[in-house]
């Protein structure tokens, strides 16, 4: 499918990177937080009844519970470990962008993020060109301009304990959402 929007998590690459992020906790067979579950579902290939479910208050409550539970686990130190793990892998293909997606998922949960990690996320994001318009899905390797300004605005306005919804409409020029404007 490629890309259905220009913001963070509105393209297959972002979702693929998020799906590949492992955040193990506890013991047992299913011990991965599966952080990508916090991203709002927009799968247009899903059957109509599934797409309708994503619009219900029942799904909203389920998503809110997932976000709160994830934040509680990340705030035990897992979030810091996650940054340490993936910052050490920045040299890999898409390693820097993967750290950005880790940061976006942490902000989505409203988890605590150390100031050094916030500063590093800004440095990484500013290093991406932020392409405008069409890019072949094969060449997709980071932000579109709109996603870049959205992510930078999220960093500017981030407050631990307040989940950041990257699916919320944001300004294509400055990246701010309604809550940022006041």
Contact yes or no for 160/142 (Cβ under 8 A):
no
Contact yes or no for 34/25 (Cβ under 8 A):
no
In the predicted model, what is the mean pLDDT of residues 71-87? 95
**pLDDT at 154 exceeding the cut of 90:** yes
**pLDDT at 116 exceeding the cut of 80:** yes
Q: Is residue 1 part of a domain?
A: no
Q: Is residue 87 part of a domain?
A: yes
In the predicted model, what is the mean pLDDT of residues 15-35? 77
Q: Is residue 132 part of a domain?
A: yes
Q: Is residue 108 part of a domain?
A: yes
Q: In 3D, which of 47, 43, 40 has the Cα closest to residue 1?
A: 43
* Total residue count of the chain as it appears in this document: 182
Q: Is residue 83 part of a domain?
A: yes
Q: Is residue 4 part of a domain?
A: no
Q: What pTM was estimated for this model as a whole?
A: 0.90
Residue 135: the pLDDT is 74
Number of domains in the chain: 1
pLDDT digits (tens, 9 = 90+) for 131-143: 887 777 677 778 8
> Which structural domain range is residue 127 located in?
12-181
How far apart, in whole angstroms, are the C-alpha atoms of residue 148 and residue 7? 8
- Its sign, for the CA torsion 81, 116, 161, 108, is negative
Q: Is residue 7 part of a domain?
A: no
Q: Is residue 171 part of a domain?
A: yes
């Amino acid at each position: 499918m490629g890309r259905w929007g220009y913001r963070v998590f509105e393209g297959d690459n972002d979702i693929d990177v998020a799906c590949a992020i492992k955040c193990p906790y506890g013991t047992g067979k299913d011990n991965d937080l599966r952080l990508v579950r916090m991203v709002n579902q927009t799968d247009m290939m899903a059957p109509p009844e599934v797409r309708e479910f994503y619009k219900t208050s029942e799904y909203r409550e389920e998503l809110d519970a997932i976000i709160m539970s994830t934040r509680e686990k990340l705030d035990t130190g897992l979030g810091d470990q996650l940054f340490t793990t993936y910052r050490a892998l920045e040299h890999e293909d898409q390693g820097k962008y993967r750290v950005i997606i880790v940061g976006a998922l942490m902000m989505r949960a409203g988890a605590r993020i150390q100031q050094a990690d916030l500063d590093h996320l800004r440095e990484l994001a500013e290093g991406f060109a932020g392409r405008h318009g069409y890019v072949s899905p094969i060449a997709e390797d980071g932000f579109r301009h709109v996603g870049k300004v959205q992510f930078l605005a999220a960093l500017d306005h981030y407050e631990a304990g307040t989940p950041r919804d990257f699916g919320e409409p944001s300004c294509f020029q400055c990246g701010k959402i309604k809550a940022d404007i006041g």
